[in-house]
Every structure is written in structure tokens, then in C-alpha cells.
Chain A
Amino acid sequence: AQKITQTQPGMFVQEKEAVTLDCTYDTSDPSYGLFWYKQPSSGEMIFLIYQGSYDQQNATEGRYSLNFQKARKSANLVISASQLGDSAMYFCAMRGFSGGYQKVTFGTGTKLQVIP
């Protein structure tokens, strides 16, 4: 079984500051993928960033970077230079490549609010 934990139900950040959203996971699969999705108030799910369990480098996509610490089973999302449009729910998710191959499991989400 795979499990994703997001312990921060809500976060505030000042505009232009960086913020880290926490995500820890648990899986017995040797190979897996970790994702972050953004869900604005309009409701759609927007893919942000992906990290494979065997990737040597931490993933980066523009202002988004994933702080992947495999030994700690954490995959925190770092948003640099926050913008007002970053206010949204953020979901960490994991896909297993064996056993749970066909399923992506989501965490409970973190609501980020960017303050002007």
C-alpha cells in the first residue's frame, strides 16, 4: 500500500517570498513517482512537477522545485518568489510502478495563501 501525508492544512506566505510545502510518503514499491498538483479555486487540477524515485537530481520547473529526500521519504515542494496567483490548494501525489502501478494516490492537500 502507498500513503501520502501532507501535515500542513494551511500556509501563508508573503508575496515574493519562498515557501515550502511538506509531503512525506510511504510505499513498499522500489520504483515510484512523486507529483505535485495545484488546484485553484476554479477547481481544475494543474500538474506542476514530477520526481522519479531513481532520479539523481531534484526536479525543477520554473519557480517550482522539489526537495526530494529519499531516505526520509519526503518530497517537499518549494515555490520561490511567491505570486498572488499561487494562492491555491496544493496536492502531493504518488504513483507506484509495481503493485499499485495503475493508481495515483493523493495527499490531503495544503491550502496556500499568498499575502500582498
Chain B
Amino acid sequence: EPEVTQTPSHQVTQMGQEVILRCVPISNHLYFYWYRQILGQKVEFLVSFYNNEISEKSEIFDDQFSVERPDGSNFTLKIRSTKLEDSAMYFCASRGTSGRSSTGELFFGEGSRLTVL
């Protein structure tokens, strides 16, 4: 079964460093998302992406964050200058528009755990 893959599974970085989290959505999906989950807390929406542009973003998604789809398969989240409070699990998700995905179900990757020291 097709799946969303994310790399790295875990990254440790120093405060102020740039981090890029990578995602490969399911190949025929058109809508892409990043969510984050601080340990033990709710899953928070960051950004959605469609047709090569951001379609919606939350108040969390400030100027330190950016997303890109550099080629036909990858979808990246960049944090320019990490802060301690950016430590979280970051989930990539994708959604198609037909078939099994007609319910609008989000398919999630396994997450990238970011630890900022």
C-alpha cells in the first residue's frame, strides 16, 4: 500500500540552526500538509499546500517556517532559526481527490522528531 515517508525520523539540533524536514507524499496525491505535535499534546495544523503554493497556514507558521516542493516527489518544511519551543514531532500528510481518498482522509507519515537544544 502506498505510504507517506518522512526523513529524518529524529533530528537533534542546536538552537538557532536551520533544519529541513523532508517528506515524500503518496505519488498521485495533490494536497500536502505539515502538522506538529509537541510531546503529549494535540496535533496542530501548520500549513497546507496545493498547486505549488500555500493554500492555508496557521498562526504558528511564521516567517521562520517555509515549505517547498522542489521536484515532483519531495515536500519539505524548513525552519530557518530553530527555537527551543520548536521541539516537537512533525507530521507530513497528503490527500488525494479520488478513490479511497475521496473521503478526504489524510495519510500521515511516521513523523520526524525534532529536538532543539
| A residues adjacent to B (C-beta < 8 A) | 33, 35, 37, 43-45, 47, 50, 52, 91, 93, 95, 100, 102-109
| A52 and B56 contact, Cβ closer than 8 Å, known pairs A43-B110, A45-B43, A105-B45 | no
Judging by beta carbons under 8 Å apart, are A43 and B89 in contact? Answer: yes
B42 adjacent to A103 (CB under 8 Å): no
Q: Do A102 and B56 have beta carbons less than 8 Å apart?
A: yes
B105 in the interface, Cβ–Cβ < 8 Å?
yes
> Are B42 and A104 in contact (CB-based, < 8 A)?
no
- Count of CB-CB pairs between chains A and B under 8 Å: 55
Of A45, A47, A91, A107, most B-chain CB atoms within 10 Å: A45
In the assembled complex, 24 residue pairs joining A and B whose CB atoms fall closer than 8 Å, in A order, are A33-B103, A37-B108, A43-B89, A43-B113, A44-B110, A44-B111, A45-B43, A45-B111, A47-B105, A47-B107, A47-B108, A50-B104, A50-B105, A91-B42, A93-B43, A100-B56, A102-B31, A104-B33, A104-B45, A104-B93, A104-B104, A106-B43, A106-B45, A107-B42
